[in-house]
Chain A
Amino acid sequence: MMYFRYILPALVVMSVFLGGWEGYVALTNASPLVLPAPSDVVNGLSVERSEIGRHALATLTVASVGFSLSVIFAFAVSIILHFSGWLRRGLLPLLVASQTVPIVALAPLMVLWFGFGLLPKVLLVILVTFFPMVVSLMSGYASLPRPFRDQLVSMGATRWTVYRRATLPSARGHFFSGLRISATYAIVATIFAEYAGARQGLGIYILSAKNNFRADLVLSAVLVSACLTLALLAVIQVIERATGRRYRRVAHA
């Protein structure tokens, strides 16, 4: 049932898309320098698998470290903003402004300021991914029905107890939504950071393949980056399911 409902439509659409692409390249005799066929991309990936694998691992490391720190940072910021109205009014415009800075402009500056190591890339991943999580958490905190808060306050609960017992659990669904949105940015942000300057990673690999007019290898690396993002989303899904059986009742209540 699951197969027919979810997996089959995705497989059919993907097959039609790839088949159309392969057919178009064969019919028009398009140059592989401009538009390689999907079979060329798979072939390139197979030939370069160890090199791409090494770079993908570097990208995954940076993305994982950056994303993990981003989650911690988002939680810390959301708690500060939740408990201090003054800081919320002061910090929120700054946080919104931070999201308007073009990553293209910021990535080279980060490398200039912090060198070619892990730090500039991790900072860039944090900058790109933390905001959706903060916004989701704040929105989740605000979703706590007033009578629930009142009930705890009438029992003598402190603000922290209300947060821990009710506000945070009720924000769980919102948090995971934000986490999924951020996860889709994490790998892309890492590749951008590597593109601006790094010793290894998919960003550097793509740059090098592009400079060598190897569009097939560029697309191979893109395919791997998409797979990494999907893997990250799958991990989040597993964590959400494994830890949240009782919290799914919030949505049904």
Chain B
Amino acid sequence: MLEVQNLTIRTKAETLVDDLSLDLVKGRLTCLIGPSGCGKSSVVKWLAGVLAPELQVRGHLQLDGEIVDPPHGAIAYQPQQDTLFPWLTISENACLGLEISGMTRRAARARVRDLFPTFGLAGHEDSFPDQLSGGMRQRAAFLRTIVQDACVLLLDEPFSALDAVTRLQMQDWLIDRLAESPRSVLMVTHDLYEATQMADRVLVMAGGPGRITADIPITTPRAERSETTLAEIRSTLKSMLLKETS
């Protein structure tokens, strides 16, 4: 289990995130939604250890009861862009995290190779990112994130660059992959339909300074989620977001 305790992020001029606490439970997908600039990405970047160094940070991160500092090997991060290195093949890209963590190239390749069919990338091991479609690139980025075997996944608007149809396909696909190997997932999104369709729990953030204003569990099983069953919760979230942006 991951716990963020009393996180405050400040610039010299203003407080971006104020005394924020949250927890992530294994096997649960938590979506963080909120208006632009409310500090969602700052929270995720701090957890990933990539927050701009000039920002002042106070707060603690606990993993299974132990205080740790980000970046941590148990936490994998996927930014908005797919960040596949254009000069590396898909296989080489997928191996990056494993090699950086100390695995030999040969062992990393062997481990990644077995996952290509599951990720719908069979036959594209030696392709370069610019030879793949947007959805395939995103799956390759997920492969690189998931193969690291981190118990916490941080996904910063992972579908924002995809077209509507691919986005819907990728949402279902990601849920299936996460069901195969349960992890704690924190996903930032602007899209409350995406959040309610995918999440087990939605955290609503407000800005100025960033803080969590609501913690809404979604108990409806995913198979039964539809416009009708989620209408009330979507309406609640929508009015919360509109209130924050007005």
Contact B50 A153 (CB under 8 A): yes
Query: What residues of chain B lie closer than 8 Å to A118, measured between beta carbons?
Result: none
B116 within 8 A of A: no
- Whether A246 touches B87, Cβ cut-off 8 Å, given contacts A154-B48, A165-B96, is yes
Q: Please, how many angstroms separate the alpha-carbon atoms of A252 and B130 in the complex?
A: 8
Question: With a CB–CB cut-off of 8 A, which chain B residues contact A7?
Answer: none
Chain B nearest CB from A240 CB (Å) reads: 14
Which residues from B are CB-within-8-Å of A149?
Answer: 50
B101 in contact (CB, < 8 A)? yes
Count contacts between A and B, CB distance < 8 Å.
Answer: 68
Which of A147, A150, A169, A250 has its CB near the most chain B CB atoms (within 10 A)?
A150
Tell me which of A151, A155, A169 contacts B101 (CB under 8 A): A155
Tell whether B86 is near chain A: CB-to-CB under 8 Å: yes
Shortest CB distance A252–B (Å): 6
Asked, given contacts A157-B100, A161-B100, A165-B96, whether A150 binds B79 with beta carbons under 8 Å apart, the answer is yes
Q: For the side of the interface on A, what is the size category?
A: 20 to 34
Which residues of chain A are near B45, meaning CB under 8 Å?
150
B85 interface hit (Cβ, 8 Å): yes
A129-156 interface bits toward B, Cβ cutoff 8 Å, 1 = contact, 0 = none:
0000000000000000101111111111
Q: Is the CB of A246 within 8 A of B96?
A: no
Task: Kindly state whether residue A116 has any CB partner on chain B within 8 Å.
Answer: no
What are the interface flags for B122-141 relative to A under an 8 Å C-beta threshold, 1 for contact and 0 otherwise? 00000011100000000000
User: Smallest distance from the beta carbon of A148 to chain B beta carbons, Å?
Assistant: 5
From known contacts A147-B83, A169-B85, A247-B87, infer whether A154 and B128 are also in contact, taking CB-CB under 8 Å: no
Contacting residues, chain B, for A165 (C-beta < 8 A): 85, 96, 100
Partner of A154, one of B71, B80, B87: B71
Chain B hits for A155, CB < 8 A: 71, 76, 96-97, 100-101, 148
Contact B71 A169 (CB under 8 A): no
Name the A residues within 8 Å of B87 (CB-CB).
Answer: 169, 246-247, 249-250
State whether the Cβ of B182 lies closer than 8 Å to any Cβ in chain A: no
Contact string, B69-105, partner A, CB cutoff 8 A, digits 1/0?
0011101110111010111100000001100110000
CA distance A154 to B155 in the complex (A): 12
The answer to the question of A110 belonging to the interface, with a C-beta cut-off of 8 Å to chain B, is no
Q: Which residues of B contact A246 (CB under 8 A)?
A: 87-88, 128
A148 to B96, CA, bound (A): 12
Most chain A beta carbons < 10 A, residue from B72, B85, B128, B148: B85
- The docked-state distance in angstroms from the alpha carbon of A146 to that of B14 is 23
CB distance from B106 to the nearest CB of A (A): 18
Judged by a CB distance under 8 angstroms, whether B49 is at the interface is yes
In the bound complex, residues from chain B placing their C-beta under 8 Å from that of A150 are 45, 48, 50, 77, 79, 83
CB neighbours (8 Å) of A236 from chain B are: none
Residues of A within 8 A of B50 (CB): 149-150, 153-154
Known A150-B50, A152-B100, A169-B87; contact A249-B130, beta-carbon cutoff 8 A? yes
Residues of B within 8 A of A253 (CB): 86, 129-130
Q: Which residues of B contact A166 (CB under 8 A)?
A: 85
Contact with B along A73-100 (1 / 0, CB 8 A): 0000000000000000000000000000
Q: Could you tell me the distance between the alpha carbons of A169 and B96 in the complex, rounded to whole angstroms?
A: 14
Nearest to A251 among chain B residues (CB) is: B86
B80 surroundings in chain A (CB, below 8 A): 147
Q: A150-B50, A253-B129 are in contact. Are A156 and B77 (CB under 8 A)?
A: no
Is B85 within 8 A of A148, CB to CB? yes
Please state if A154 and B77 are interface contacts (CB–CB under 8 Å): yes
Contact partner, B77, options A148, A151, A157, Cβ 8 Å: A151
A residues less than 8 Å from B97 (CB atoms):
155
Interface residues as binary, B45-66 with A (CB distance below 8 Å gives 1, 0 otherwise): 1001110000000000000000
4 interchain residue pairs of minimum CB distance: A253-B86, A154-B77, A150-B50, A154-B48
Query: Can you give 26 contacting A-B residue pairs, CB < 8 Å?
Result: A145-B83, A147-B80, A150-B45, A150-B50, A150-B83, A151-B77, A153-B50, A153-B71, A154-B48, A154-B49, A154-B71, A155-B71, A155-B76, A155-B96, A155-B101, A156-B73, A156-B101, A165-B85, A165-B100, A166-B85, A169-B87, A246-B88, A249-B129, A250-B86, A250-B87, A252-B86
Binding site for A on B (CB under 8 A): 45, 48-50, 71-73, 75-77, 79-81, 83, 85-88, 96-97, 100-101, 128-130, 148, 154
Known: A145-B83, A150-B48. 9 other contacts (CB 8 A): A150-B79, A150-B83, A154-B50, A154-B71, A154-B76, A155-B148, A165-B85, A246-B87, A252-B86
